[in-house]
A = this chain, B = another copy of it.
């Protein structure tokens, strides 16, 4: 069951002449004769009819020839495809991101990667920070785009985007039309924050801001994720503090307003397992770094 013999066999089947086949293979004629003889012994049947000066394939030889050509071609294709996947030129990359990232630069980054590696299938999904971390550790995803960055020494990080915070307010709130908004004046507002779990979360980060401005929100609603929170804002449940980039997408019922007061901003960070050395991941991080530098 050795492949070299099949390629030798095919050369002889092509040339119908041991000497020419041997020189085509770059070997001498005697070893070729021996290899063919060994193949015939292995199969237990003559593959060539050598009774005449011009040799010819037997029926068994013809059958084997068809299969052998297919096999050699398929093996070659398999090697090529494996090489391509190994080099990161094809395959699959599972990228997950926090919901609020879909309004910022992430889509542009994704587009850039796709243009560089069009044959890599991208599996995109949205989840909150905790789910991102868990999915990375469980190897359910290769890349996590989190906000804020995940604290885990086993992960490598690439900062993607840093942005200011703004307010998302319902369109029927007086905040929607007020000239300027000072953060310290929001003590009587209902706050919609996210995510609910796990604590401490981005919600706690915002609550810290409130404490810095010497108030506690009058009402506090904790949503599972950004998408739910902004939906609650749009129906008038309360206001939320969100990254500036989400204001690029207009949304019925929601006004985005900047404010005066504490604004440490928020950062979007790309994460991958350090031990995931797959070319797809390395190349994605590379594209991301160049993408960030070019801005």
- A positions within 8 Å CB-CB of B: 1-4, 7, 42-47, 49, 51-52, 58-60, 63-64, 67-68, 70-71, 74-79, 81-83, 85-87, 91-92, 275, 277-280
Known: A2-B2, A2-B4. A59 touches B75 (CB 8 A): no
Whether the Cβ atoms of A67 and B78 lie closer than 8 Å is yes
Whether the Cβ atoms of B3 and A83 lie closer than 8 Å is no
The interface residues of chain B lying within 8 Å CB-to-CB of A277 are 46, 49, 51
A10 to chain B, nearest CB (A): 12
Whether the Cβ atoms of B82 and A67 lie closer than 8 Å is yes
A42 to B83, CA, bound (A): 9
Whether the Cβ atoms of A58 and B278 lie closer than 8 Å is yes
Whether the Cβ atoms of A60 and B44 lie closer than 8 Å is no
| Cβ-closest chain B residue relative to A79 | B43
A90 to chain B, nearest CB (A): 8
Whether the Cβ atoms of A67 and B83 lie closer than 8 Å is no
The interface residues of chain B lying within 8 Å CB-to-CB of A81 are 63, 67
Whether the Cβ atoms of B82 and A60 lie closer than 8 Å is yes
The interface residues of chain B lying within 8 Å CB-to-CB of A71 are 71, 74-75, 78
